[in-house]
Amino acid sequence: MDHSIQFVEATSLKQKPSSEELGFGRFFSDYMFEMDYSAEAGWHDPRIVPYHPLTLEPSSMVFHYGQAIFEGLKAYKTKDGHIQLFRPTKNITRLNKSCERLCIPKVDEELMLKAFKELISIEKDWVPNGDGTSLYLRPFIIATEPYLGVRPAREYKLLIILSPVGAYYGDQLAPVKIYVEEHYVRAVLGGVGHVKTAGNYAASLKAQEDASAKGYAQILWLDAKENKYVEEVGSMNIFFKINGEVVTPQLNGSILDGVTRDSVIDLLKHWNVPVRETRISIKEVFEAHARGELEEVFGSGTAAVISPVGELNWNGDIITVGDQKIGPLSQRLYDAITGIQTGKVADPFDWTLDVTSVKVY
Ligand SMILES: *Cc1c(COP(=O)(O)O)cnc(C)c1O
């Protein structure tokens, strides 16, 4: 496949927001990447074009049957002005895993990486440099074929949009309160819980709304079959430090294979901290707390990196973890991962990819 990406220059550029007003996913940069698929031509016309609204047929299959997948990763600015991505090939591989499960034609992984690099290179001034800020990349694919029959679509669009995002937390990583969900489930074995598809999020909103109304920031999902085993928290993977050992749910087919999760496990191994991927029941977590052995609980994901958990509510049974403060291991992981991402500390795993000046148009 020819990997050249066409570039269409914008006639005017937007005013960039200040670091303070960023938040998450509210501002979008001047350009986006776009590529189309048809059964006849395959993936074709890769291009970087001014950010613009899409025109789609109301009969586009994505609106009816939900063939939509996405990814999320960040570009960071280093102290010396370089821009780097964190483990981007993991996201590209996962995108193709999602494609496979949703019957969407896979994309060329080299072309995707080239698209990331060129888009960021063009948009380098959109990478904010405030503490904790970054440029979020949101690649996604939607089924665009105008047809109401139920089968995999024969036309798709792949887009990558960029959003400068603010620090998830202020100076302190504030522990969140988590509601253990017993009524709704997120994903079943054999379903789509292990891939990043839009429907998983649509299905989770009701439980999230109910939990918010009770004053909880996130949901802790249990397995759909027995309502016993811990799966994930909101859009993050989850870790428990129990009596010196870190445990996290194993990738069982309904849990998302998080890049941050994988990085946490690698770091813990590197530090010789015992870590185990296993099946863990919510009862075991509460029992560990009762024995005084539940030392830390934290979520992991691209958005927050490490999110300490300060309280768990399971059916009205409430436990608090770590005195509403972030635990030392959670802090160490946060500092190590964000340090590598922003080039403040050495990167012994070769996780970062410098994309500072890939191509000048
Ligand atoms: C994206 C996501 C995660 C976190 O994955 P990262 O690659 O670490 O960002 C965890 N759970 C779900 C359901 C997700 O969609």
Question: Contact at 8 Å (CB) between 322 and 296?
Answer: yes
| pTM of the predicted model as reported, rounded to 2 decimal places | 0.96
The pLDDT assigned to 46 comes to: 98
Q: Is the pLDDT of residue 170 over 70?
A: no
7 CB neighbour count, 10 Å cutoff: 14
From ligand 1's centre to the CA of 359, what distance in Å?
30
The SS3 assignment for 222 reads strand
Q: What are phi and psi of 216, to 5 degrees?
A: -105, 140
Domain ranges of the chain: 6-170, 176-325
Question: Contact at 8 Å (CB) between 213 and 156?
Answer: no
Any residues with CB less than 8 A from the CB of 245 and at least 6 apart, and which? 274, 275, 276
- Between 3.20.10.10, 3.90.79.10, 3.40.50.740, 3.30.70.270, what CATH number should domain 176-325 receive? 3.20.10.10
Question: Contact at 8 Å (CB) between 161 and 149?
Answer: no
- Burial degree of 218 (CB within 10 A; 0-12, 13-18, 19+): buried
User: Where residue 167 falls among pLDDT bands split at 50, 70, 90?
Assistant: confident
302 lines ligand 1 (CB under 6 A): yes
User: Where residue 138 falls among pLDDT bands split at 50, 70, 90?
Assistant: very high
Burial 9-42 (b: 16+ CB within 10 A, else e): eeeeeeeeeeeeebeeeebbbbbbbbbbbeeeee
237 lines ligand 1 (CB under 6 A): yes
Any residues with CB less than 8 A from the CB of 27 and at least 6 apart, and which? 16, 17, 163, 164
The SS3 assignment for 325 reads coil
Tokens of 65: 């049957």
69 lines ligand 1 (CB under 6 A): no
Q: Is the pLDDT of residue 3 over 90?
A: no
> Tokens 């919510």 correspond to what residue?
282
260 lines ligand 1 (CB under 6 A): yes
From ligand 1's centre to the CA of 285, what distance in Å?
22
The pLDDT assigned to 130 comes to: 87
**What DSSP string runs through 126-193?**
GS--STT-EEEEEEEEEE--B--SSS--SEEEEEEEEEEE--SSSSS---EEEEEPSS--S--TTTTT
User: Whose Cα sits closest to atom 13 in ligand 1?
Assistant: 235
pLDDT tens track for 290-329: 999 999 999 999 999 999 999 999 999 999 998 878 999 9
pLDDT tens track for 267-286: 999 999 999 999 999 999 99
From ligand 1's centre to the CA of 87, what distance in Å?
14
- Burial degree of 226 (CB within 10 A; 0-12, 13-18, 19+): exposed
Strand partners, 75: 85, 135
**CA dihedral over 224, 226, 227, 232, signed as positive or negative:** negative
pLDDT tens track for 193-217: 999 999 999 999 999 999 999 999 9
The pLDDT assigned to 2 comes to: 67
The pLDDT assigned to 360 comes to: 53
186 lines ligand 1 (CB under 6 A): no
Burial 341-350 (b: 16+ CB within 10 A, else e): bbbeeeeeee
Q: Which fold has domain 6-170?
A: D-amino Acid Aminotransferase; Chain A, domain 1 (3.30.470)
The pLDDT assigned to 17 comes to: 94
258 lines ligand 1 (CB under 6 A): yes
User: Whose Cα sits closest to atom 2 in ligand 1?
Assistant: 235
Question: Contact at 8 Å (CB) between 195 and 155?
Answer: no
HSE toward the beta carbon, residue 343, CA cutoff 13 A: 17
